[in-house]
Every structure is written in structure tokens, then in C-alpha cells.
Chain A
């Protein structure tokens, strides 16, 4: 695709892409930057996409860019570790969660996991209760490995908070 043709395509879809970016990242300046990033990323593969799929395809790239921005902003504040070995600690024999699970409150914890809402419910049941690996969960749920990992960290953090509250009560 020539630069001229691509330029007219950008002009045609810039409002759509900007709207997607702004709906997910409600900051005018950041949304503008993300819109540019979206088109720069799209340029490399624009010839492989059919005209009728262009809208959804651009919306998807825009959500990806917005996701990366939101994730890095969220992680800066919450500082979730993404080390997979650390996540596995929750399933080892010595972990406090495991000891707690083997005690009389096992049913309560099991129920807390079962009560988690999507997008954390399925990944948590498969990981913490059925002891599946991140790779297996990724395949079973057709979710990217990295997304499964992130969702598990957040689910773990939610569970820990709920358990702490329960202990304090």
C-alpha cells in the first residue's frame, strides 16, 4: 500500500480508532498518542486484511494499545509481580494458603474461589483447585498465556484480601 493510500485510510478511520482509545483511556492526549501507535502498528500488516474486516481489526489493535497502556499504569501502582515461579508457591505444601486449605476452613476457601466472578473464576478454578498449568489453562480457555498469568495474580490478590478479612473477623 502506498503512503498516499494509507494516509487516506488513516483519515477514514482515525475517528473510530480515537474513540476506542478514548473510551478505554479517557485522557485526550494519551488517546491521541495511542491512536498514532495503532496506525503505526497497523501499517506493517495492512495488506493482509480484507476491507470488510478492517474496522474490527483496527478496533482490536487499538484495544491492544490501550491495554498495554492501562496495564503498565496499573502495575506501576499496584506492583504485581509476574514471576510465574512465585505464583506456583501458592500450590506448594509449605504455603500458608495450602496449610489453611488443609485445615477446617478448606471449604470456605474453596467456596471463595468458586464465588470469584469472571474473568477470574475459570482461571482460578483450573489453577488453584484443578491444579492445571498456565499453558493448559491458556489452551483450554483460548486466552493468551500472559493474560492467564495476569488474571491469576489478580485473583490471588483478591483471595488473599478476602481471607485476611475473614481472619480479622
Chain B
């Protein structure tokens, strides 16, 4: 096995030259090199510099058209995901509006006002009842607590 890494953990110059020069490397060696280059700024900068003087290969067909197609497809997908919910909600709102869901069957303002005031008074009555129940329950609990403490005090005595 070649020494691809120096003792400080970086790629050796030999390793970078082997890679750029197209020397045969094993699958594991290529994996180790790519793993290191994927996170090491120093080595990737050296590698990019070496590539400047190297004869670059051309892909069989131009990459740009397919890349642009994929980017546009992705943008369309993201747009669809982002706005599909909002559009669906707006459609539902329009449908409900048209079939009169928001109408509540009230056409006269005075009827609406009287209904609202009735609702408000019944709500305040219910709140009073609940607070009365709560304070009663609290009193009972406190009384029990005092008695129990009293018993305990007596026991101690």
C-alpha cells in the first residue's frame, strides 16, 4: 500500500500526484482520499491547484442542459409543495363562502346583536358557577389539610 497520508493526517504530495496523474489506486484508497478531501480545506486547495496544470477531461456530452433541467424541475417541485396548501385553503374558503357556510343564517343585525349578548350573559353565568365550585373545593381541601395537621400535632404531643 502507498503512503497516501502523512503523519499529521493530511494527504501526501505523492498521493495528490497519483490522483491527478491517473495512477491506479484501489477502491479503498480512492474512498480514503475522497473522504479526506471532502472535509480538509488545506488538501482540497492543493488538489485544486494541481488540477490547474493538469489536462482536464471532457464529459461525453455537455452537462449544462441536463443540470438546468434538473434545477428547474426541482424549483417547480418546491414551488408546488410550498403553495399547494395555501392554494387548497383558498379554494376551500371560496367554496365555503359561496355555499354560505360563513352566513350563520343571520341576515338582520339586531338578531345578531341579541344572539351575541345572550351568549355573553350565559358565558358569564357559567364562569361564576365554575369559580364558585372551585372556591368551595379549595375551602374543603384547606379545611382537611388543617385538620390533618392538627391531628398530627396532637399525636406528636
Contact = CB atoms under 8 A, between A and B. Distances in A.
Contacts of B71: 3, 6, 40, 43
B24 to A, nearest CB: 9
A47 interface: no
Given A19-B56, A32-B63, A59-B44, A67 B34 contact: yes
Nearest to A15: B56
B51 interface: yes
Interface in B50-67: 51-52, 54, 56-64, 66-67
Contacts of B38: 60, 63-64, 67, 144, 147
A18 B34 CA distance: 14
A14 B31 contact: no
A50 interface: no
Interface residues on A, range: 35 or more
A70 B5 contact: no
Contact of B59 (A23, A32, A60, A63): A32
Interface string B67-83: 11011101000000000
A97 to B, nearest CB: 23
A7 interface: yes
A56 B30 contact: no
B33 A24 contact: yes
Contacts of B119: none
Given A23-B22, A32-B63, A144-B39, A3 B57 contact: no
Contacts of B35: 67, 71, 119, 147, 150-151
B103 interface: no
Contacts of A43: 67, 71
Interface string B7-19: 1010000000001
Given A23-B19, A23-B20, A63 B64 contact: no
Given A11-B62, A15-B57, A32-B60, A141 B9 contact: yes
Interface of B: 1, 3, 5-7, 9, 19-20, 22, 27-28, 30-39, 41, 44-45, 47-48, 51-52, 54, 56-64, 66-68, 70-72, 74
Interface of A: 3, 6-7, 10-11, 14-20, 22-25, 28, 31-32, 35-36, 39-40, 43, 55-56, 59-60, 63-64, 66-67, 70-71, 73-74, 117-119, 121-122, 141-144, 147, 150-151
Task: Give me the 3 closest cross-chain CB pairs, A-B, nearest first.
Answer: A118-B5, A67-B34, A63-B37
